[in-house]
Amino acid sequence: MRLTFLRLFSRKKADRISSYILNTFGYQPEDPVLYKQALRHSSAVKRGAAGAERSNERLEFLGDAVLDLIVAEYLYLQHQDLSEGELTKMKAKVVSRRMLNQIGSSLGIEDMLEKRLGSQPVHRSMIGNALEALIGAMYLDKGFQFTTDKILKLLQAHRVDERVHDTTDFKSKLHEWCQKKRKTLSFNVVGEHPEPNHHERYEIVVYVDGNAVGRGLGKSKKVAEQHAARQACKHFFGEKD
């Protein structure tokens, strides 16, 4: 009787996790056990128990590496005007613990996380770690290209393309400098390049006193303007990567 109850309980839990993956990422898992493990914090694992279920730590390790490659490839292809140093800084912002914690929280991971913390609160890093574990589970379950498509859509939905520029607003910096020096400033769209996913890639040139001083590419005009302004700031201020 107890064994039957445990099986029913486990099946309901697997169904709940499968529904969560379907509602959150838009697909039905082929191996729900992977996702169940991804949402199991180490506090929920009984130490020393025979046949104990694994925590999400190994999947977190794998997901971290997969996410790193997805983001690195995306930035490399999308920002061809940036140097290695700039790409490294940008990637660090995208895969930062703070960013992953925020995205994980918005996905309701805390409510799905299997944990035994007693009266202790859920540390935000547990949420980001679980998100990485889910990425690892997705990779094992569906493969790299599938995972890449899903994770890029997730990152874009959270405006990561724009948020990586939050630390330094090059456009505002350039605008303030031009006002102080009484110089004219304009950003002109010089090209719109269609992409396979039916989105446009904008090419923008920034002019100061009628002279082109920077050029940028981006999936939105705002991102392209930031790239163009970054080049202009290097031109005028000699800023390094």
pLDDT for 123-163, tens place per residue? Answer: 888 999 999 999 999 999 999 999 999 999 999 888 776 66
Give me the pLDDT at residue 209, please.
94
- Close Cβ partners of 50 (under 8 Å, ≥ 6 residues apart): none
Work out whether strand 200-208 and strand 211-218 pair parallel, antiparallel, or are unpaired: antiparallel
Top-confidence residue, 55 or 159: 55
Cβ atoms of 200 and 214 within 8 Å: the answer is no
Residues 91-133 have pLDDT tens digits of 888 888 888 999 999 999 999 999 887 777 778 889 999 999 9
CATH of domain 170-237: 3.30.160.20
Instruction: Pick one of 3.30.420.10, 1.10.1520.10, 1.20.1250.20, 1.20.1090.10 as the CATH number of 2-163.
Output: 1.10.1520.10
- Encoded tokens for 79: 């920002």
Cα 162 to Cα 156: distance, rounded to the nearest angstrom: 9
Calculate mean pLDDT across residues 199-212: 89
Give the active site residues: 64, 132
Residue ranges covered by each domain of the chain: 2-163, 170-237
Cα 187 to Cα 121: distance, rounded to the nearest angstrom: 48
- Using the predicted structure, report yes or no on whether residue 200 has a pLDDT greater than 80: no
Cβ atoms of 109 and 101 within 8 Å: the answer is no
